[in-house]
């Protein structure tokens, strides 16, 4: 690579999966041999991980593979039909590869626009903002916390509406353990011990109103943690198992402008 920008682009495309085989092999060799490049890759994985977790995979229709197998089985070795068939397949594969590369680039642009519109809406041209966004900025009562053990392993995403004192917990990478339960805790200097906010993780999304008992300042300043408890939750009202993930709330939307 000739510059830091080139290295950063290579790391981003490696994480997005848009490199060809030779370029991917080069990137994998750099990850193993170059600590600074490996750090760039981990940074892109961290930035894109939550977005990736929110996208449902789309499988191609099963009949597509059956048609490919039938067409390959019907070609005679060495015959003109095989040459024509393989040539046509190569052209179609090339077109799909080019289309996939273009769609990956478009996806990257849309991701960048989405992140910018949330984090720095002032940098987005007014014609690209939603009508409501241009007319009035959203309220500042929506907070979010990523409950994780390290930068690459988000387990739960906690979203809190401080004004309504409601919360939604999304299970991302945490696997539901057999015979155990995950329990969410509010940890605040105002209380001598953690306060339970209920069980989470049985479904992809868990909503609750347990925060209604707390003041907005307490909700905003608290630390939130998830522990592994006996099935049904802690029998003592305090964490009895390992505290696996934790995090603090941050502002999810910009404050309303006067």
CB 197 within 8 A of CB 223: no
Number of residues that this document lists for the chain: 258
Which stretch of 31-35, 73-77, 122-126, 186-190 has the lowest confidence by average pLDDT? 122-126
Q: Is 135 exposed, middle or buried (0-12, 13-18, 19+ CB in 10 A)?
A: exposed
**Under DSSP, is residue 196 helix (H, G, I), strand (E, B) or coil?**
strand
Nearest to 152 by CA among 50, 13, 250: 50
The answer as to CATH 2.60.40 being correct for domain 138-251 is yes
Per-domain boundaries in the chain: 4-119, 138-251
| Chain segment 31-80, per-residue pLDDT in tens | 889 888 888 888 877 766 655 555 556 666 767 777 777 777 765 554 54
Q: How confident is the model at residue 138 (pLDDT cuts 50, 70, 90)?
A: very low
Answer with the residue of higher pLDDT: 141 or 138.
141
Spatial CB neighbours of 225, under 8 Å, sequence gap ≥ 6: 147, 184, 185, 187, 194, 239, 243, 245, 246, 247
Residue-wise burial string across 16-52, b where 16 or more C-beta atoms lie within 10 A, e elsewhere? bebbeeeeeeebeebbeeeeebeebbbbbebebbeee
Nearest to 193 by CA among 239, 230, 145, 147: 239
Q: How confident is the model at residue 155 (pLDDT cuts 50, 70, 90)?
A: confident
């Amino acid at each position: 690579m000739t510059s830091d920008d080139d290295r950063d682009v290579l790391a981003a495309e490696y994480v997005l999966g848009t490199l060809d085989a030779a370029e991917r092999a080069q990137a994998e060799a750099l990850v193993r041999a170059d600590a600074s490049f490996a750090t760039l890759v981990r940074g892109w994985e961290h930035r894109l991980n939550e977005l990736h977790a929110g996208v449902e995979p789309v499988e191609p229709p099963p009949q597509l593979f059956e048609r490919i197998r039938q067409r390959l089985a019907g070609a005679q070795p060495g015959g003109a039909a095989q040459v024509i068939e393989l040539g046509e397949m190569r052209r179609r594969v090339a077109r799909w590869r080019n289309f996939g590369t273009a769609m990956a680039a478009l996806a990257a642009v849309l991701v960048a626009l989405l992140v910018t519109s949330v984090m720095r809406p002032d940098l987005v041209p007014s014609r690209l903002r939603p009508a409501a966004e241009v007319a009035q900025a959203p309220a500042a009562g929506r907070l979010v916390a990523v409950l994780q053990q390290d930068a690459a392993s988000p387990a739960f995403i906690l979203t809190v509406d401080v004004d309504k004192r409601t919360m939604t917990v999304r299970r991302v990478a945490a696997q539901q353990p057999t015979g155990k339960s995950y329990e969410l805790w509010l940890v605040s200097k105002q209380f001598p011990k953690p306060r339970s906010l209920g069980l989470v993780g049985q479904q992809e999304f868990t909503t609750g109103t347990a925060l209604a008992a707390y003041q907005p300042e307490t909700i905003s300043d608290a630390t939130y943690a998830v522990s592994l408890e006996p099935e049904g939750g802690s029998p003592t009202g305090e964490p009895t198992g390992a505290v696996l993930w934790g995090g603090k709330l941050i502002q999810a939307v910009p404050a309303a402008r006067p």
